Structure 1
Amino acid sequence: MSTDPELLIERRGQALWLTIQREDRRNAINGAVLDALGRALADAGGDPTVRAVVLTGAGTRAFCAGADLQTGQSFRFDYSQPYQGLADLFREARRCTLPLIARVNGACMAGGMGLLAMCDLAVASRNATFGLPEVRVGLFPAQVLAVLQHQLPRRVLNELCLTGEPMDAERALAAGLVNALAEPEGLDEAVEALLARLLDKSPSAIRRGLYTLKQVENLGFEQAIAFAESQIGLFALTEDAQEGQAAFREKRAPKWTGR
């Protein structure tokens, strides 16, 4: 376990759990949180013993309330720098080939929606709420759109952005923003159940599979199919592919090497 002033990093079996430690500020984002999350994702991606990452917030009130507006510094960037903190975190998540799972334990607002959207899978408490309230303070969720726009129907996204009004967990599930809902007291159990469905699969197939999913997302058909043609042969060359097919023929459980 590693305790950062802003981020708790815990190893739970083959999963790395990242918990934003700002419960008194509803786990709002600041520079320290962004830096710590980016480092943690980069380190996890380089550790072959880590199979998945779970992202959540401390307590039960909020997953992440977005930028910490109380500081008065949240949107004062150094514009001489072309890369900014939240965008860099989204870039790091995009490069990551480990499954990222959002454990949404409460309010998920503004930049918190970006953290949710940068994850590959999400489990939410039934009392969670979701929203993009930036227009209420004269702003707009511009950076968040880069990771959120393909995860929601356009009319739903427009409504969230333009009205600033939140939606409940049931509507978030119906819209495809999260994979599953759980009672608050059963949230960890639901996350562990999802992890179990991932961790018995081939590490190399998941790693290369996430890479492929992310590469083809914005490609046209001809580009996507050409890229896929180049990838399928590489999948077949892995030790896991050979082992998985042998296990299938021999009617036994595979023994993955992750290579």
Structure 2
Amino acid sequence: MSSPDLIETLDGGVLRLTIDRPERRNAMSTAVVEGLTRAITEAGQGGAVRAIVITGNGEQAFCSGADLQSGQSFQFDYSRPQLGFANLLRAAHASHVPLIARVNGACMAGGMGLLAMCDMAVAAPHAQFGLPEVRVGVFPAQVLAVLQSLIPPRVLNQMCLTGRPIGAEQALALGLINAIDASDAALDALLADLLAVSGVAQRRGLYTLKTARSMPFEQAMAFTESQIALFAQTEDAREGQAAFREKRKPVWTGR
């Protein structure tokens, strides 16, 4: 269901979502936000999609955030308690399909939200990461919900309050990205690793990771105790252990 602003392709269990607005540095239009939200939500409704890759068209920008040229970027319907971009972040948080950001260029403002909502990220060497909202009189408010757990507070404060960006090397050192290599070969290798393991373990694993992350220690222990018991009841868990004992490659069913 590709739209004029978002290209969607599904191949071999990998859903690729490409923001197709290179003339606007892949700034997010309403169609982009709604398309990403729908695609991520629908991908989690079955077992066919094993991974989602989000990127931008071209080599200049991954996503530059809201489309300031439109003049509509910070105009909201205040009668609605939930906003479009926030709903996209909610959809990503609720997703149990691994999300990968392929940062092919500038990653700014709301683009940092797209990056942070993903489970893993790779970046091109020339990629820049920034929160320049203060330079146009606003602030990266919604982005903080997904970004503040990834960047040390002092660094995040500086990025938010000065609008000054960081490069790929610093992003890697901070743990904001997994690798400085957004080539096809590097991405294919990462996807091969994801597709080689149990899909059900990944889905239940992401649910466990995201749920336990915000819990205090004793609550997290009680929750994960119940989860490991459920992991063990799946067909993939039985198959994986049998394959280990029999020294063969497992045949995953995703159940």
Settle same-fold status: TM greater than 0.5.
Answer: yes
1:30-62 deviation per Cα after TM superposition (whole angstroms, max 9, x unaligned): 211110111111111113111000000001100
Q: Which residue of 2 aligns with 1:243?
A: 239
Q: Which residue of 1 aligns with 2:128?
A: 129
Instruction: Determine if the alignment matches structure 1 residue 109 to structure 2 residue 108.
Output: yes
Are the counterparts in 1 of residues 3 and 31 from structure 2 also a CA contact under 8 Å? no
Deviation at 1:176, TM superposition (A): 0.4
Deviation at 1:126, TM superposition (A): 0.4
Deviation at 1:198, TM superposition (A): 0.9
Count, aligned residues: 255
Q: Which residue of 2 aligns with 1:209?
A: 205
Deviation at 1:12, TM superposition (A): 2.5
1:122-176 deviation per Cα after TM superposition (whole angstroms, max 9, x unaligned): 0100010000000111111000000000011111111111110000000000000
Q: Which runs of 4+ in 1 moved over 2 A?
A: none
Deviation at 1:72, TM superposition (A): 1.1
* Seq. identity, %: 64
1:200-241 deviation per Cα after TM superposition (whole angstroms, max 9, x unaligned): 001000000000000011111011111101111000000000
Instruction: Determine if the alignment matches structure 1 residue 257 to structure 2 residue 253.
Output: yes
* 1:184-223 map, 5 Å: 187-223=183-219
Q: Which amino acid aligns with 2:105?
A: G
Q: Which amino acid aligns with 2:18?
A: T
Aligned counterparts of 2:105 and 2:22: Cα–Cα separation in 1: 11
Instruction: Determine if the alignment matches structure 1 residue 226 to structure 2 residue 222.
Output: yes
Deviation at 1:110, TM superposition (A): 0.2
1:156-199 deviation per Cα after TM superposition (whole angstroms, max 9, x unaligned): 111111110000000000000000012xxx62211111111111
**TM-score, normalised with respect to structure 1:** 0.97
Q: Name structure 1 gaps, 5 residues minimum.
A: none
Q: Name structure 2 gaps, 5 residues minimum.
A: none
* 1:75-224 map, 5 Å: 75-182=74-181, 187-224=183-220
Q: CA RMSD in A?
A: 0.8
Q: Which residue of 1 aligns with 2:22?
A: 23
Are the counterparts in 1 of residues 15 and 51 from structure 2 also a CA contact under 8 Å? yes
Aligned counterparts of 1:187 and 1:156: Cα–Cα separation in 2: 28
Q: Which amino acid aligns with 1:209?
A: G
SS at match of 1:180: coil
Aligned counterparts of 1:254 and 1:41: Cα–Cα separation in 2: 28
1:51-90 deviation per Cα after TM superposition (whole angstroms, max 9, x unaligned): 0000000011000000001111111111110010010000
Aligned counterparts of 2:193 and 2:243: Cα–Cα separation in 1: 18
